[in-house]
Amino acid sequence: MRILNIALLGGLLAASPAWAQQVDQLQNIVQGEFRLLSEDLGAALSYHAQIPAEPLGITGFDIGVGVTATKMQNSAILQRVTSDDADTTIVVPTIRLHKGLPAGFDIGLTYASIPGSNIKYTGGELRYAILKGGTASPALAVRGSVTKLSGVDQLSLDTRGLDISISKGFAFLTPYAGIGRVWVESDPHGTAGLRTEKFSLTKAFVGVGMNFTVLNLNVQADKTGDASSYSLKLGWRF
């Protein structure tokens, strides 16, 4: 099990440099292209849950590292706004913390910094379990989330999300699924010819959490707008 833990953690960290571009050439695109770029970045940098619906409980913690890979739908546009060679996939490594609160509430925080890129972001969630779940019943939760981009001089991008999710534990496995909406505001910071874009995207996701004593492994797939993302998280739950 120790070898597995090390291998998984190494894989998460090794994946982080796979997308390392500076977003610093927005003046090379027009408004329609900026909208498409914003949709791709909104999908990649919005909040990805990576946790089932059931609450952690007032004493519960979930601490981990994760990585999310998002397939860009408009990689040619990305190539035009970066001074580096653009990939077709954005790979975002994250540090994540979830804490259980009283009355079925949980709070979550995440931080991301892509090595070799000027992209960083912070995010958070507040989740409420309408149904806490049990041996015979599923958990049902509503979540509000936010993320904020930093580090990119030419671009300010904020997202807000609202979703509902359901999960049910079976032995050490907890499958879950959810659907919601993401609102994106993308500001090109006065770049000539470009204006702020505000829009919303539908989000749907499925995943499974696997608990091995205190070790937790979570795998998730989601689609936000037209972009598909795949996430892996290795954490410690106690």
Q: Which residues pair with 105 in a beta bridge?
A: 128
Q: What are the residue ranges spanned by the domains of the chain?
A: 2-237
> 2 falls in which pLDDT band (50, 70, 90)?
very low
User: CA-CA distance, 195 to 203, in Å (whole number)?
Assistant: 25
User: CA-CA distance, 48 to 66, in Å (whole number)?
Assistant: 10
pLDDT tops 70 at residue 95: yes
Sign of CA dihedral 211, 102, 133, 219: negative
Task: Spell 211-221 as b/e; 16+ CB within 10 A means b.
Answer: beeebbbbebe
3-45: pLDDT as tens digits:
334 334 444 444 444 455 688 899 999 999 999 999 999 999 9
pLDDT tops 80 at residue 71: yes
Across all residues in the chain, what is the average pLDDT? 90
Give the mean model confidence (pLDDT) for residues 135-147. Answer: 96
Pairing between strand 173-187 and 156-167?
A: antiparallel
Percent of the chain with pLDDT over 90: 76
Give the mean model confidence (pLDDT) for residues 77-104. Answer: 90
149-161: pLDDT as tens digits:
999 999 999 999 9
Give the mean model confidence (pLDDT) for residues 42-59. Answer: 95
At the top level of CATH, the class of 2-237 is mainly beta
